[in-house]
Amino acid sequence: MKKTLRYILTTLIGLFLLWLVFKNTDYKELLNAIKKCDPLWFLLCLLTIIASFFTRVFRWHFIVNTEENVSFRHLFTSTQIGFLANFILPGRLGEGIRAGMLTKFTKIPLSKSLTYVVIDRVFDLIGLLFILIFALMGFRPKEDIPLPPEILSITIPADIISKTAFITLLALFFFLFFAISFYLYSSRLTEQISKGERFLGEKITSFIKKIATNIKEAISIIKNGKGIIFSTFFSCLTWMLFWASYVCLLKGYNLNFPWYTPPVCITMLSILISIPGAPGFIGQFHAGILAGLILTIPDIDLNIARAIAILAHGANFITVTLVGIICLFIESNLLNEKGR
């Protein structure tokens, strides 16, 4: 019941944002605006997104293979199947499915796979922080910015990007503190768990100790300089490819835009998709892109801005869905062959 209510609530949030973006829209003009995009630039946008799939998996490769020996194929397919789930299921269930797929393909314990996913998300935040720094360098409004009344009669705080950067940095600090503390004191933790065996029972105690050991092994990347450097590099490269994908869409409309428009769009998008929403980030995605465009290109035609938001979401949806289905097909066929 709670899950159903949560699903309904998050879907309503996405639909409300979608309504805000497209209220008072002349859909004939919007369709014409979508058609104006240069197809070559849109194709380049698709290619940059696909390239980001590979750089993201290279990042995960240097995290997972600090302790394991997992093939690039299994890392790629588990990641893309997880992303596909994120686009069609509510509540970001894709991250758990991604860990489950890795466990299914490699027999790595689920607790360990989940830890690898969490660490990957942390390095993802490092890449986002990299983008936020650029957004802060270029976009520094001296006062709050009002949105057009056709969208919503509210103002965007001038310090929204700096606050986002601070929260991201704080999250990274807390994870690093936890990871180092857990790594250094996990032996004491297992000792304390062993003392509680009389109350918990042998099976439960053994299970908890096993999970603690798995987590310690998974976060051993903190003592691997090469893993940290390459994971950070590929994380930043992944976010730079996202940047490039927005440049392609803006170029597709031959717009004059400041260099910091893409990182501001990414920032606004990251803020909105961080809250629970509808499957496929419907509404959140469109509102984030639209807000970034309005903030950095105040005189932009709203139908062009809406068209860019639709195409940006569509480009991600098409690539994630297509590649995810292909990965599902490949892995299901291989698993069926093994089962014969």
Helix/strand/coil (H, E, C) string of the chain? CHHHHHHHHHHHHHHHHHHHHHCCCCHHHHHHHHHCCCHHHHHHHHHHHHHHHHHHHHHHHHHHCCCCCCCHHHHHHHHHHHHHHHHHCCCCCHHHHHHHHHHHHHCCCHHHHHHHHHHHHHHHHHHHHHHHHHHHHHCCCCCCEECCCCCCCCEECCCHHHHHHHHHHHHHHHHHHHHHHHHHHHHHHHHHHHHCHHHHCHHHHHHHHHHHHHHHHHHHHHHCHHHHHHHHHHHHHHHHHHHHHHHHHHHHCCCCCCCCHHHHHHHHHHHHHCCCCCHHHCCHHHHHHHHHHHHHCCCCCHHHHHHHHHHHHHHHHHHHHHHHHHHHHHHHHHHHHHHC
pLDDT in the model for residue 197: 63
**Mean residue pLDDT across the chain:** 86
The whole-number average pLDDT for the span 78-104 is: 88
Q: Which residue has the tokens 């428009």?
A: 261
Pick from 69, 132, 111, 79: nearest CA to 262? 132
CA distance 131 to 269: 12
**pTM attached to this predicted model:** 0.88
In this model, does residue 319 exceed pLDDT 90? yes
Q: Two tokens at 70?
A: 């997992």
Asked if 318 contacts 49 with a C-beta cutoff of 8 angstroms, the reply is: no
Predicted confidence (pLDDT) at residue 237 exceeds the cutoff of 80:
yes
Query: What is the pLDDT confidence band of residue 54, given thresholds at 50, 70 and 90?
Result: very high
Task: State mean pLDDT over 209-227.
Answer: 78
